[in-house]
Structure 1
Amino acid sequence: MADTGPGQQQPQTYARPPANSGGGGARLVALFTPFIALAAIGVAAWAMVMAWPQKDAKVQPTAESKQRVCAAFDTVSKAVQLQTHAELGPDPVAQTAVASNARLALIGGGDVLLSRLDEQTPPELADAVRLFANNLQDIGISALAGATNDNPQQAARLTAGEEGRDKVAQLCT
């Protein structure tokens, strides 16, 4: 090698790194990334399960729930009684209006009763109200479909509805 003077630079030589030495850390991260992601998903799922509100094994009936259901029953019973026994005379339009209001009271009353039930309603009352409400809705929708009160199936529904009303009334006293 020759001496270089003050204005001359020596050529630089670059050494190549060995072929197996670069990127080892990146390969290791790429290899473990799916396992880390699966572990994170598992921890997140476990946290969700642990934070999810647990349903009480035994919910106790409350007087408040019974009172709310029985008040709704009283209102529905009055509405059905009033609307199914209204008399507006022989005018066909008036008769259709009365029938429409009666059907509305039946179907809507059943829906109101079902919406008042909750986990704290005493089971015997809840079962009786559910049966009565479903009977009301069946009577109303059958009437909308053209069933008359003297139709044997509709008459059976009316009898079941009256029996259901009596049972709920007894449980609400």
Structure 2
Amino acid sequence: MVLERSAGVAALVALVLAVTALVLVLSRGRAPAQADYTAAQRADAKTQACASANLVRNAVMLNTNRALPENAGVVGTLASAANARIALFNGGQYLLARLDPATPPDLAASIRDFGNALMDVGAAAIAETPNTHPKQAQRLSKADELSKHIVELCK
């Protein structure tokens, strides 16, 4: 009976220590609160985030709407499709990698959502999912809505 009780106490102590360690690790991994940034740092982060979003939006627009010449052939068509997929997938990665922790929270969340949406569209395109497929059409619509929202936030 005493052994069972001490084993239960030991298990409870181990659980408390594990939870405490997890909380400490997670709290140290967080970015500083917005209040820890100066107004200039927040403004610079917003400017950079908006510039990155514009760069990616332009790259996606150019590479997904490129008109092929009549003599493009199969190789030209595949090359154009590959560039569109690269613009989508790498554009999403670029946005996530360039996001400064001082970026205003609403803009940062929209940029993260947009970056992930672009990668989702790109991954589906790499799998040769047509834009007319209902799920791909939904992904495209979501990315377009997020893009427009970012434009508004960047004004």
Match of 1:140 among 97, 122, 136: 122
* Structure number with bigger Rg: 1
> Matches of 2:54 and 2:80 in 1, distance apart?
21
Identity over aligned pairs, percent: 40
Query: For residue 152 of structure 1, what is the aligned residue in structure 2?
Result: 134
Q: Which structure is richer in relative contact order (CA contacts within 8 A, separation 6 or more)?
A: 2
Q: How does 1:12-161 map to 2 (within 5 A)?
A: 56-57=32-33, 58-60=35-37, 62-90=42-70, 91-161=73-143
**Counterpart contact for 1:89–1:95, Cα < 8 Å:** no
Deviation (angstroms), 1:56? 4.7
> Matches of 1:59 and 1:95 in 2, distance apart?
50
From the superposition, tell whether residues 137 and 56 of structure 1 become closer, same or farther in structure 2 (CA, over 3 Å): closer
Aligned length: 120
From the superposition, tell whether residues 138 and 56 of structure 1 become closer, same or farther in structure 2 (CA, over 3 Å): closer
Deviation (angstroms), 1:142? 0.5
**Counterpart contact for 1:65–1:120, Cα < 8 Å:** yes
Deviation (angstroms), 1:109? 0.6
> Matches of 1:69 and 1:93 in 2, distance apart?
35
Shift >6 Å, 4+ stretches: none
Whichever structure has more helix as a proportion of its residues is 2
**Counterpart contact for 2:49–2:100, Cα < 8 Å:** no
From the superposition, tell whether residues 78 and 56 of structure 1 become closer, same or farther in structure 2 (CA, over 3 Å): closer
> Matches of 1:56 and 1:79 in 2, distance apart?
32
> Matches of 2:32 and 2:107 in 1, distance apart?
21
> Matches of 2:124 and 2:43 in 1, distance apart?
35
**TM-score normalised according to structure 1 size:** 0.65
Query: For residue 149 of structure 2, what is the aligned residue in structure 1?
Result: 167
Deviation (angstroms), 1:59? 2.8
